[in-house]
Structure 1
Amino acid sequence: MSETRDPRLTPARPDLADSRLAGVVAAERYVAGEPARVMAPSAPLRRAPRPEAGLDTEAVRGDAVTVYEIRDGFAWVQIGRDGYVGYLPETALGPADPAPTHRVAALRTFVYPAPDLKRPHLAHLSLGAAFAAEAREGEYWRLAGGGYVFAGHAVPLDAREPDFAGTAERLVGTPYLWGGRTSLGLDCSGLVQLCLETAGLACPRDADQQERGLGEALPGLDGLRRGDLVFWKGHVGLMLDAERLIHANGYHMAVAVEPLSQAVERIAAKSYGAVTSTRRLTLKA
């Protein structure tokens, strides 16, 4: 009955599965799932419903999710953006409506209790987080559900930043965080996903998924240009030009820029081995 599916993207456990998978995967029962939305500034998606469980990725405010179960303070969900399945804190979720109208374009911004920069802030939102704006009050957006965000730090939800390599450059120095995908901490594929999404490109979450699903294959390391992706088994970086690579990595423990040749030599010797592929993305007009 069951077929091989990527467990990261399959809302199925032996005891519970998405009703759309009935007849495809075996489970004790099937549920349709309920729509919800992340309302916390960010939320860790873990591989098990325990605070000490490994961090697979992060959801941010505005992310749509499908909730299949809530138990013991955790919600078992699938993130709409990239299909990732795991456990979010129940307290991070709210109603699915209203849908976001704007997203944060600054590296991060604050949520205030009033349209006044002198008031103590309530929270911060990272690059890419989204919110529903109810009205403009002076220089601030009033958010559905309460709070205010400086309007100059946000853009309409459908705004695009085509130079995704430039977005990556803005994130230089961001600490490395396994599973991270906010401007407070990033891993290699989280950096790529975040930057491509600001350009309006859908992007899988993990490096192996990105290597299989993004762009067109290139013949090798010659002739690379800005925006090309370089993959290793378990790692990915983004070219700034023909010679420089930007990547979130555990060697620097940060988003860093270095000569590609230097990275290739070090990674081959100490971690992920040889480059497995290079790929080129094309933005649609």
Structure 2
Amino acid sequence: MTRHRVSASVVDLLRSPDGPRDRQLLFGDTVRIEETKSGWTRVIADKDGYTGWLRSDQLTADAPATHWITAPATHAYQEADFKSRDLVSLSFGSKIQARTETDRFVETELGYIPKVHTAPMTAKPDDPVEVAQLFLGTPYLWGGNSRFGIDCSGLVQAALLACGLPCPGDSGEQERALGKTVIEGTPAQRGDLLFWKGHVAWVSGDNMLLHANASHMAVVFEPMDQAIHRIMDQGDGPVTAHKRL
């Protein structure tokens, strides 16, 4: 299968051509093409194996990325000057190819990106919770994977992939694939994951969760006890798993 990369800032990965969104891909994400018809292409995402449809014009030939976006979001500017016109916004986790670099900017096909918002592809953080905190206040978006909108599993995946750790795209698969089950009654610690049916949250500290949720419609900190009771009261059931990475 031919490999291409995403050429738009954020792309919906659809269940069928022009159908509902299942997940999203970011600029520079690489995919393998399975099928193309009537301006639509069915792809498999390299980052997690997720399969879906996107518009064919949202893909371009693959080119090795040299840097990735480490700020929550950034802009590409027309010139190496932050007062020049901004051309496109990119989310955390987007992958870019540097043409030239200065002390302040990385020149790319999109324009000039502030160097302070980038890191070489080989540079990886080691604390996924700290990464997830970059998304605080991001609006909730079902199936979202970017700073412009994200859901619970998207938040977990963004943090783990940034740290170089593999992670599926959906919370059900994450519950099965990630970490080891913690014995019931063991106190939760920072970096643990709590799962419910259809939901996942980071443990960010003592009795505190960090998660994207539709009640707050944002990425928020929430006391663990409060979240457990709220989710139960709204009819979504108890915690189904406590996992430790």
TM-score range, shorter chain: over 0.9
Which residue does 1:72 correspond to in 2?
38
Distance in 2 between the 1:72 and 1:238 partners? 41
The answer to whether 1:245 aligns with 2:213 is no
Could you say which structure has the larger radius of gyration? 1
Distance in 2 between the 1:260 and 1:266 partners? 10
> What residue ranges of structure 2 are gaps of 5+ in the alignment?
none
SS at match of 1:275: coil
Structure 1 runs (4+) greater than 4 angstroms displaced = none
Shift of 1:217: 0.8
How is 1:64-213 mapped onto 2 (pairs within 5 angstroms)? 64-97=30-63, 99-143=64-108, 145-213=109-177
Q: Do the aligned partners of residues 156 and 265 (structure 1) sit closer, same or farther apart at CA in structure 2, a change above 3 Å counting? A: same
Say whether the 8 Å CA contact 1:237–1:246 is kept in structure 2. yes
Say whether the 8 Å CA contact 1:115–1:138 is kept in structure 2. no
Which residue does 1:5 correspond to in 2?
none
Q: Do the aligned partners of residues 88 and 266 (structure 1) sit closer, same or farther apart at CA in structure 2, a change above 3 Å counting? A: same
CA RMSD of aligned residues (A): 1.2
The TM-score with structure 2 as length reference comes to: 0.96
Which residue does 1:261 correspond to in 2?
225
- CA displacement, residues 26-81 of structure 1 (integer Å, 9 cap, x when unaligned): xxxxxxx211011111111010101xx21111101111101122222221111000
Which residue does 1:61 correspond to in 2?
27
Higher mean C-alpha deviation, range 263-272 or range 182-191 = 263-272
Say whether the 8 Å CA contact 1:74–1:90 is kept in structure 2. yes
Q: Do the aligned partners of residues 240 and 72 (structure 1) sit closer, same or farther apart at CA in structure 2, a change above 3 Å counting? A: same
The TM-score with structure 1 as length reference comes to: 0.83
Equivalent pairs: percent with the same residue? 38
Q: Do the aligned partners of residues 194 and 271 (structure 1) sit closer, same or farther apart at CA in structure 2, a change above 3 Å counting? A: farther
Return the structure number with greater relative CO, CA threshold 8 A, min gap 6: 2
Which residue does 2:5 correspond to in 1?
37
Aligned pair count reads 245
Higher mean C-alpha deviation, range 159-168 or range 172-181 = 159-168
Which residue does 1:47 correspond to in 2?
15
- CA displacement, residues 72-94 of structure 1 (integer Å, 9 cap, x when unaligned): 22211110000000001212111
Q: Do the aligned partners of residues 117 and 244 (structure 1) sit closer, same or farther apart at CA in structure 2, a change above 3 Å counting? A: same
Q: Do the aligned partners of residues 203 and 182 (structure 1) sit closer, same or farther apart at CA in structure 2, a change above 3 Å counting? A: same
Shift of 1:138: 4.3
Higher mean C-alpha deviation, range 151-160 or range 264-273 = 264-273
